[in-house]
A = this chain, B = another copy of it.
Amino acid sequence: MKISQIRHFQAVCRYKNVTRAAESLHITQPSVSSSIKELEEEFGVNLFHRINKRLVLTREGEFFLERSNLLLEQVDTLEAQMKDLGSGKNLIRIGVPPMIGTFLFPAMFDAFHEKYPEIKLEMVEQGSRITNKLVKSEELDLAIAIVDEAVDHELHKLDIFSTCLVFCVRSGHPLACRDSVGLQDLRQEPIILFKSDSSQNAILLSRFKSLDIEPNVLLSSSQLYTIKHFVAAGRAGAFLFQEIADMEPDIAGVPLEEPIPMDICLIWKKNRHIYSDAAKFIEFTKSYNEGAK
Interface, chain A (partner B; CB < 8 A):
1-4, 37, 40-47, 49-50, 60, 63-64, 67-68, 70-71, 74-75, 78-79, 81-83, 85-87, 138, 271-273, 275-276
Contacts and interface: CB of A to CB of B under 8 A. Distances in A.
A66 to B, nearest CB: 10
Given A2-B2, A45-B86, A64-B82, A273 B75 contact: no
A41 B1 contact: no
B44 A276 contact: yes
Number of this chain's copies in the complex: 2
Contact of A37 (B78, B79, B273): B273
A2 B78 CA distance: 12
Contact of A74 (B60, B71, B276): B71
Contacts of A74: 70-71, 74
Contact of A272 (B50, B71, B79): B50
Contacts of A75: 1, 71
The SS class assigned to the A binding surface is helix
Given A3-B2, A74-B71, A78-B68, A46 B83 contact: no
Contact of A43 (B44, B63, B82): B82
A213 B79 CA distance: 77
A291 B82 CA distance: 60
A37 B273 CA distance: 8
Contacts of A271: 50
24 contacts: A1-B82, A3-B3, A43-B82, A43-B83, A43-B86, A43-B87, A44-B83, A44-B87, A44-B273, A44-B276, A45-B82, A45-B85, A45-B86, A45-B273, A46-B272, A47-B273, A49-B138, A60-B82, A60-B85, A63-B82, A63-B85, A67-B78, A71-B71, A71-B78
7 smallest beta-carbon distances between A and B, as pairs: A44-B86, A45-B86, A44-B87, A43-B82, A40-B273, A43-B86, A50-B271
Contacts of A50: 271-272
Nearest to A1: B79
Contacts of A78: 1, 64, 67-68, 71
A257 to B, nearest CB: 43
Given A40-B273, A43-B86, A67-B81, 10 more contacts: A1-B79, A2-B2, A42-B83, A43-B79, A43-B83, A44-B273, A46-B273, A64-B78, A71-B71, A74-B74
